[in-house]
Chains A and B, each alone.
Chain A
Amino acid sequence: MRALMEGSEAIAEAAIAAGCRFFAGYPMTPFTELLESFAKRLPEEDGACINAESEIEAIGMAWGAAATGARAATGSTGQGLSLMQESMSEITRAEIPIVVFNMARGQGDYFQATRGGGHGDYRHIVLAPIDVTEAVDLTQLAFHLADRWRHPVLVYGDYLLAHTAEAVSVSPATFDEALPEKDWAVDGSLGGSGRSRNLNPIGMQKGTKGIDPDSFWRRLQEKQDAIEAAEQRFEAEHVDGAELLVVAFGTMARFARYVVRELREEGVPVGYFRPVSLWPFPSRALAEAASGARRVACLEQNAGQMIDDVRLAVLGSAPVVSIGGISTDAAGFGIGPLLDPAVVRERIEAALAGREVDGVLGGAIA
């Protein structure tokens, strides 16, 4: 049944539809309404939503819940995610499947999301929905991928996603791959059997003194390589014959897609590419999409973060320029002058014509 829901509400419903029964969080704009939604709904589903006393405690609680095999999630805004990074790192190495939502204040947390964010040698899966409808799908996919790989998945949303209401329908999604048994999850049942478990991020083994970090880290890296190969997701439109390829992610991409469609109808040779998974970044598909373009233009609401990945994907086959930039409202949220199809159109046209755009002062075209 379709219903008008704000992104925060729809994401909580999607998580519950995916079987999430535990959430812990600490209020922070624009994440707060996601916490409110879980706080209202999880008790009705025989689950628990805990008002954690800090973001550090919130992710610790989700860690413990997920360790028992339950589908569990936490979230915050980029600032709160910064507090969670130590746990994100350890949870990745302990191979515990949790889902983390970043209802970010804008697109400035791209590096935090895609570079692992914490200490050590790791990345986690990052999915960035373009709108509320896709957020419902990607939230359910996030829980699926977390369980499939025993790996954290971050859903990267923002103010616009969290607070925009759309008519959506939420029902449990089905996936082709069967998920592995959670025989690793702790339930206490194996105490005294000689086969009890130790879910740990440092490679401790039962019955054996010490650790072997070298082989432990290599095994985890092999898994990350497999994720990188298997889980690249993207959306592309009007790539054929595009002289300029516009690359954007998340809600900003909705503006890019709209303008590219509009320009194409007018016969202007522009194309559109959106990484849906920010890690693994869809490098192969982007390189292919950009292979016929004279220029690649990156539209992101920050001083230039995703552009590094775009350049690495394109590897010099075409110049990559920024047509995004810092663009905020008075409170520092990403609701700035860049969220305007007319501004985006002006910038895309400038890039197509080979003119420079000012990447720092929001809205201004040089």
Chain B
Amino acid sequence: MKIDTSSPPERAARKTGDFASALQLTTDHDLCPGCGEPVALRALLDAVESLGLAQRAIGVVGIGCYTALTSLIDLDLVQALHGRAPSVATGAKRMRPDTLLFTLQGDGDMVNEGLQEVIHTAARGENLTCVLLNNGVFGETGGHMTATTVLGQRTKNSLEGRDASYHGHPILIGDLLARLGGTGYVARGSVHDAAGVARTRRYFERAFESQMRGEGFSFVEVLTMCPTGWFVPTREGPGYLDEVLGSVHVTGELKVDGRLVGA
């Protein structure tokens, strides 16, 4: 039996979840079916909204598929060059220290093109939050190897799988940043299932709270599905993420209150 889901129920009910975040202008976007980036974006926007920081937030966005999502984000934004968002965010935060300043970058943007930027920004202890949407491929170009592509992962320019002896090793950027003195909070979430999305949203909230307390650099990495770039059916995206990426880029909080978790 099918239930009519075309309009709100007639039976007494309360709405517990909107289609979109209150900080979204529209729901319309052209990202691929099964993409994890809109899911991560919503978690981020919901975190900003829940902390009451919507009127103080500035986002600096890199270049990747997620750049197309800037049309629906109802926050002040600065569009940066590929890889350069952490520096742009640094200048903006220094001039507007009372704002919530975050970047939105992909793995190609942050870990390939702009690795130096994010490391120096973290080491300087800039009081801002860098956000990495990590799917292990250049999604926008159609599925090419990035610096976070895991060993064995097939991409359009590592057709037989990433081979350490030929392509080198992936960089676990969250782990690397957590070891730097300037970082206050580092976490790696995932949007491959509902619990992961809810946890990722909490990581955003903790990172933003850490920034508003002035604890220095904070970092939230989110593993996101890219079925198009992984060459898997959309319904297999979450499983691929969990098994292939998630086994290397392990999720969880890595640094809290300036202390390494488990150290």
Task: Give chain A's interface residues, CB within 8 Å of chain B.
Answer: 21-22, 24, 48, 50, 52-54, 56-70, 72, 86-87, 90, 94, 186-194, 196-202, 204-210
**Distance (whole angstroms) from the CB of B86 to the closest CB of chain A:** 8
B8-65 residues at the A interface, CB under 8 angstroms: 22-23, 25-26, 28-30, 48-49, 53-58, 60
Residue of B48, B49, B55, B95 with highest tally of chain A CB at under 10 A: B95
B76–A188 CB distance below 8 A? yes
A70–B74 CB distance below 8 A? no
Given contacts A60-B84, A209-B28, 11 further A-B contacts (CB under 8 A): A53-B120, A57-B117, A60-B80, A65-B94, A187-B96, A188-B57, A206-B73, A207-B71, A209-B29, A209-B68, A210-B68
B90–A61 CB distance below 8 A? yes
B92–A65 CB distance below 8 A? yes
Residue of B57, B90, B116 with highest tally of chain A CB at under 10 A: B90
B70–A68 CB distance below 8 A? no
**How many angstroms from the CA of A94 to the CA of B78 in the assembled complex?**
9
Q: Which 9 A-B pairs have the closest CB atoms?
A: A60-B87, A64-B91, A200-B79, A65-B91, A64-B88, A61-B91, A64-B92, A186-B76, A191-B54
A199–B78 CB distance below 8 A? yes
B84–A56 CB distance below 8 A? yes
Chain A residues lying within 8 Å of B93, measured Cβ to Cβ, are: 64
Chain B residues lying within 8 Å of A192, measured Cβ to Cβ, are: 22-23, 49, 54-55, 74-75
**Distance (whole angstroms) from the CB of B142 to the closest CB of chain A:** 19
Residue of B49, B53, B58, B116 with highest tally of chain A CB at under 10 A: B58
Chain A residues lying within 8 Å of B84, measured Cβ to Cβ, are: 56-57, 60, 63, 87
Chain A residues lying within 8 Å of B72, measured Cβ to Cβ, are: 206-207
Contact of B25 among A53, A67, A207 (CB under 8 A): A207
A198–B74 CB distance below 8 A? no
**How many angstroms from the CA of A86 to the CA of B83 in the assembled complex?**
12
A188–B56 CB distance below 8 A? yes
* B145 lies within 8 A of chain A by Cβ: no
Q: Considering only CB atoms, which chain A residue lies closest to B84 in the complex?
A: A60
**Distance (whole angstroms) from the CB of A154 to the closest CB of chain B:** 18
Contact of A204 among B71, B75, B88, B94 (CB under 8 A): B71
* B178 lies within 8 A of chain A by Cβ: no
* B250 lies within 8 A of chain A by Cβ: no
B79–A188 CB distance below 8 A? no
* B100 lies within 8 A of chain A by Cβ: yes
**How many angstroms from the CA of A358 to the CA of B31 in the assembled complex?**
61
* B223 lies within 8 A of chain A by Cβ: no
B96-131 residues at the A interface, CB under 8 angstroms: 96, 99-100, 116-117, 120
* B67 lies within 8 A of chain A by Cβ: yes
Chain B residues lying within 8 Å of A205, measured Cβ to Cβ, are: 71
Given the contacts A63-B80, A190-B76, A209-B71, A68 and B87 also touching, CB distance less than 8 Å: no
Chain B residues lying within 8 Å of A209, measured Cβ to Cβ, are: 28-30, 68, 71
Chain A residues lying within 8 Å of B94, measured Cβ to Cβ, are: 22, 48, 50, 61, 65
Contact of B79 among A54, A190, A191, A204 (CB under 8 A): A204
A191–B55 CB distance below 8 A? yes
Given the contacts A64-B88, A199-B79, A204-B71, A54 and B58 also touching, CB distance less than 8 Å: no
**What would 23 A/B residue contacts be, using CB atoms closer than 8 Å?**
A48-B94, A50-B91, A56-B117, A57-B116, A64-B95, A65-B92, A65-B94, A67-B78, A69-B95, A86-B81, A186-B78, A187-B58, A188-B57, A188-B58, A188-B76, A188-B96, A197-B76, A198-B76, A198-B77, A198-B79, A205-B71, A206-B25, A207-B71
